[in-house]
């Protein structure tokens, strides 16, 4: 996903005949430009080669740009939108924002295009370094991301939430953790338990079980996390689909607009329905805030407001999304007062 630069050096001064360069100047400027832009030589090295001062080299290179002798093109893969990515990063105070083109055939009812997972997999390949602890929360986008992983430095991989359906654990987040660990060659710490339990007592009992407790011990060591975001509606929020109609009505009355890792947020990014967390197998919000890099993977117009709400919470440092959601976030949504990069200092808690 790295940008590549193409330098085109021509032999004519285009578009500025009033500032015409002589043939000797053109030849020298072209040669210096080749040394600097294509061969990577420093201005001092070029100055020594041509027997001039480095200041003259700087003036020649500047003139070459002004006269269109040198053209610099920044190219990224066609599926990435560099302009929207940079605008989104700046607007929401993110460390990284990557915007991919929404599939042309996709409808508004189809959130999280699968190509988000592929791009997120490449981003994790950049962010994770040897010795990191990578945390993966349940979500369709994180599962797609794990399936697309083809490179990761040696790291430990831990599951941050229980599974949506214990019967599909092998095909969901447990498999995602195993896949990431296999690619990295590191240890895997899956959680074989449902995300949501009937009551707090059952949830507490499961958290004390050896395998789950071992995974929880790694939560404070996680350095990079990948999470999904859901809007509060059927088929897009895991929690919404797991609770009763009465409970949905209750949490809706609290103004819930988004869900991330079984934590609920209103439109302003404030956590609501904290009692639900007592029944969930998931990483606590305070622990999420202490993780240096939290990458959210979510897209589609139906999720746009939910993404904005979670960004306002300050729990996310980076975002992989699509052009549909990005356009909403850039034009229809206002960032909250708290920048996402303001992390909680572990020594203060």
Q: Is pLDDT at 4 greater than 50 in this prediction?
A: no
CA distance 243 to 273: 13
pLDDT in tens, 172-212: 778 999 999 999 999 999 998 889 999 999 999 999 999 89
Query: How confident is the model at residue 332, as a pLDDT?
Result: 86
Of the listed ranges 68-77, 183-192, 206-215, 220-229, the one predicted with least confidence: 68-77
What does the DSSP assignment read for 278-327?
GGB-B--HHHHHHSSEEEEE--SGGGHHHHHHHHHHT--SEEEEEHHHHH
Rounded to an integer, what distance in angstroms lies between the CA atom of residue 11 and that of residue 23?
9
CA–CA gap between residue 149 and residue 33 (Å, rounded): 39
Contacts of 31-37 with CB under 8 Å at 24 or more apart are 32/57, 32/60, 32/61, 32/64, 33/7, 33/9, 33/61, 33/64, 33/69, 33/70, 34/9, 36/61, 37/7, 37/9, 37/70, 37/72
Q: How far apart are alpha carbons 97 and 93 in whole angstroms?
A: 10
Nearest-10 Cα torsion for 176, 180, 185, 187: -60
As annotated, the residues of the chain forming the CATH 1.10.10 domain(s) are 23-67
Rounded Cα distance between 183 and 151, Å, is 6
d(CA 213, CA 286) in angstroms, rounded, equals 18
Average pLDDT rounded to a whole number, residues 63-92? 81
* CATH number for the segment(s) 80-332: 3.40.50.1360
Closest by CA to 269, choosing from 340, 321, 219, is 340
In the chain, CATH 3.40.50.1360 covers: 80-332
**Residue 270, CA atoms < 13 Å, CB-side half-sphere:** 5
Instruction: Please state the separation of Cα 44 from the chain's center in Å.
Output: 39
Q: Is the pLDDT of residue 249 over 80?
A: yes
pLDDT at 78 over 70: no
Task: Check pLDDT > 60 for residue 168.
Answer: no
The band of 1, judged by pLDDT with boundaries at 50, 70 and 90, is: very low
Query: What's the rounded Cα separation, in Å, for the pair 9 and 139?
Result: 48
Helices (H), 93-172: 115-127, 140-148
**248: closest CA among 316, 196, 192?**
196
Calpha distance 344→287 (Å, rounded): 9
Q: What is the DSSP letter of 168?
A: G
Residue 176 has a pLDDT of: 92
pLDDT, position 11: 40
Helix (H, G, I), strand (E, B) or coil at 72: strand
**Overall average pLDDT of the 247-268 stretch:** 92
CATH topology of domain 23-67: Arc Repressor Mutant, subunit A (1.10.10)
Q: Chain-wide mean pLDDT for the chain? A: 84
Cβ–Cβ under 8 Å, residues 320 and 300: no
E-state strands within the chain:
4-9, 70-75, 96-100, 133-136, 156-159, 188-189, 224-228, 230-231, 256-260, 263-266, 271-272, 293-297, 318-322
pLDDT tier at 30 (50, 70, 90 boundaries)? confident
């Amino acid at each position: 996903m790295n940008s590549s630069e193409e330098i085109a050096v021509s032999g004519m001064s285009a578009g500025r005949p009033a500032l015409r360069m002589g043939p000797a100047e053109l030849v020298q400027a072209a040669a210096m430009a080749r040394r600097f832009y294509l061969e990577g030589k420093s201005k001092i090295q070029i100055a020594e080669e041509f027997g001039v001062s480095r200041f003259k080299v700087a003036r020649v290179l500047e003139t070459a740009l002004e006269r269109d002798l040198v053209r610099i093109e920044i190219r990224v893969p066609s599926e990435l939108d560099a302009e929207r990515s940079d605008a989104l990063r700046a607007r929401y105070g993110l460390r990284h924002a990557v915007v991919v083109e929404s599939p042309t055939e996709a409808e508004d009812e189809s959130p999280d295009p699968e190509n988000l997972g592929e791009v997120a997999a490449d981003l994790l390949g950049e962010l994770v370094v040897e010795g990191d602890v990578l945390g993966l929360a349940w979500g369709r986008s994180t599962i797609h991301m794990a399936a697309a992983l083809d490179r990761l430095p040696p790291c430990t991989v831990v599951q941050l939430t229980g599974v949506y359906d214990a019967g599909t654990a092998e095909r969901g987040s447990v498999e995602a953790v195993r896949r990431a660990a296999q690619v990295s060659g590191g240890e895997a710490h899956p959680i074989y338990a449902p995300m949501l339990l009937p009551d707090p007592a059952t949830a507490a009992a499961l958290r004390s079980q050896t395998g789950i407790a071992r995974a929880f011990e790694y939560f404070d060591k996680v350095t990079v996390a990948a999470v999904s975001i859901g809007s509060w509606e059927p088929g897009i929020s895991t929690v919404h689909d797991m609770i009763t109609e009465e409970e949905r009505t209750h949490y809706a009355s609290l103004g819930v607009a988004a869900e991330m890792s079984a934590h609920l947020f209103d439109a302003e990014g404030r956590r609501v329905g904290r009692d639900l967390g007592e029944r969930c197998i998931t990483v606590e919000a305070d622990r999420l805030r202490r993780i240096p890099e939290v990458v959210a993977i979510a897209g589609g117009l139906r999720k746009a407001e939910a993404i904005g709400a979670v960004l306002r919470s300050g729990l996310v440092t980076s975002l992989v999304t699509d052009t549909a959601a990005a356009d909403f976030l850039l034009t229809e949504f206002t960032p909250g007062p708290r920048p996402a990069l303001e992390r909680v200092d572990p020594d203060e808690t």
